Amino acid sequence: MWENRCKIVVSGVGYSKVSRMADIPLAAHALEAVKGAVADSGLEMSDIDGLATYPELPATGHAEIDGISVVSVNCMMAMLKLPNLTWHIQVGTTNIGGAVQQATNALLAGVCKYAVVWRAMHNPRGTYQNLPGAQAAGATQFTAPYGFGGPGQGMAVAYTRWLEKNNQTRDKMATLAVTQRKHTQHNPHAYFHGTPLTREDYFASRMVAHPFCLFDCDIPVQGAVAIVLTTADRGRDLKPKPAYLAGYGQRLHFETAGRIGSLSSYMEGGSSSAKLTWERSGFTPKDVDVAQIYDGFSASVIYGLESYGFCKEGEALDFIQDGRIELDGDLPLNTFGGSLGTGRIHGLWHIIEGALQASGRAGSRQVKDANVSFVGASAPIVTGTTFIFVSEPY
């Protein structure tokens, strides 16, 4: 087991308003979320001495403008003017889970005491995956000429293969979309809070990239979330009950030909990251009381459940049936609504929910006796990171 298990905690969490389009600059959303997380911890902004983020805009063909479409560490530093800042980073791979892991490492190394991690997401005007026009340069010369524009299509290619190979149909995915939307109604910060979804809605919705219909895809939004991480001894003295980090893992698994939907890449990336997390924490999938698994596109949950070891390969769509992923089921899943419910904010919201469940702070969606809380914070390909939070050190 990991010698540093339960030495780092998640303390406060914060949210901005989540809206469909930008009515204020993204920097303002990020600032609102960061201030919220610091206040939730009961800290002063001057206590914060570490900053980390992953600032990428996952849309194609749109400019990255700091403070408008991304919020870099530089942008946040300029806004906060932290008098005691000693450490900061923005990661280039492993998505936002990597930023949380780097902050964990910095706290363990003693180079900062209270780190804030935020994820701010922009919804650009016009087509989200805006193909590069007449010329397909670089790696896109082997994809764009065939009408390929984004990671969702790559995930759908793998999903087609998964469905066929395992003799399954997309009908069973309705359970995931409908159950997560039900969970969303317990999350007042989520974009789809107040908007229920029925099975009929799912089956009647238009196709985006077959086998994905509209409700298999998270809706692009403008918004931000943030967390405060600190050491366990400091976290115990703060306002909220802390969630203890029992272990984490990470693994990149790039396909040499790009993101063209290789099932084996999902499986190898996810299982490698999860293996480290199980070994470091000492837990197994059977010990998990509640799970958050990244769901930017619904099929990502399949790859997560299978590669992390919650069920066997080919069985995930059967695994999620019969109430298993409800709040009182055997494995309550994406209890905050997931990205399908909150809107496209990436995996920091999954990490927030994993921590809130472990510390008993999830309100009306709190899972009973949620002592071991698992998080797969990004698709288990390209950027896979996994975490386990627990309610008490062990």
Q: Which residues bind other proteins (CB under 8 A)?
A: 127, 131-149, 153, 156-158, 160-161, 164-165, 206-212, 256-258, 260-262
Provide the minimum distance between the beta carbon of 394 and other proteins in the complex, in angstroms, as a whole number.
42
Do 216 and 298 touch, CB atoms closer than 8 A?
A: yes
Query: Which CB sits closer to other proteins, 163 or 243?
Result: 163
Provide the minimum distance between the beta carbon of 297 and other proteins in the complex, in angstroms, as a whole number.
11
Query: Which CB sits closer to other proteins, 130 or 371?
Result: 130
What DSSP string runs through 50-78?
EEEE------BS----BTTTB--HHHHHH
Q: What residues contact residue 340 under an 8 Å CB cut-off, 6+ apart?
A: 176, 177, 180, 181, 184, 192, 215, 217, 218, 295, 298, 334
Query: Which CB sits closer to other proteins, 132 or 188?
Result: 132
Query: Which CB sits closer to other proteins, 256 or 364?
Result: 256
Query: Which CB sits closer to other proteins, 85 or 214?
Result: 214
Provide the minimum distance between the beta carbon of 168 and other proteins in the complex, in angstroms, as a whole number.
13
Backbone angles phi, psi at 303, to 5 degrees: -60, -35
Provide the minimum distance between the beta carbon of 158 and other proteins in the complex, in angstroms, as a whole number.
7
Provide the minimum distance between the beta carbon of 128 and other proteins in the complex, in angstroms, as a whole number.
9
Half-sphere exposure of 328 (CA within 13 A, CB side): 1
Query: Which CB sits closer to other proteins, 133 or 194?
Result: 133
Round to whole Å and give the CA distance between 310 and 159.
18
Whose structure tokens read 């396909």? Answer: 255
Provide the minimum distance between the beta carbon of 225 and other proteins in the complex, in angstroms, as a whole number.
28
Tokens of 356: 């809130």
In terms of DSSP bridges, do strands 87-90 and 50-53 run parallel, antiparallel, or are they unpaired? parallel
Query: Which CB sits closer to other proteins, 46 or 127?
Result: 127
Other C-beta atoms closer than 10 Å to the C-beta of 276 total 16
Provide the minimum distance between the beta carbon of 159 and other proteins in the complex, in angstroms, as a whole number.
8
Q: What is the SS3 assignment for 32?
A: helix
Is residue 124 classed exposed, middle or buried when 0-12, 13-18 and 19+ CB atoms within 10 A define those classes? buried
Q: What is the SS3 assignment for 129?
A: strand
Provide the minimum distance between the beta carbon of 20 and other proteins in the complex, in angstroms, as a whole number.
18
Is residue 160 classed exposed, middle or buried when 0-12, 13-18 and 19+ CB atoms within 10 A define those classes? middle
Other C-beta atoms closer than 10 Å to the C-beta of 146 total 7
Query: Which CB sits closer to other proteins, 70 or 144?
Result: 144
Query: Which CB sits closer to other proteins, 154 or 337?
Result: 154
Question: What's the one-letter identity of residue 235?
Answer: G
Provide the minimum distance between the beta carbon of 31 and other proteins in the complex, in angstroms, as a whole number.
34
The distance in angstroms from the start CA to the end CA of the chain is 11
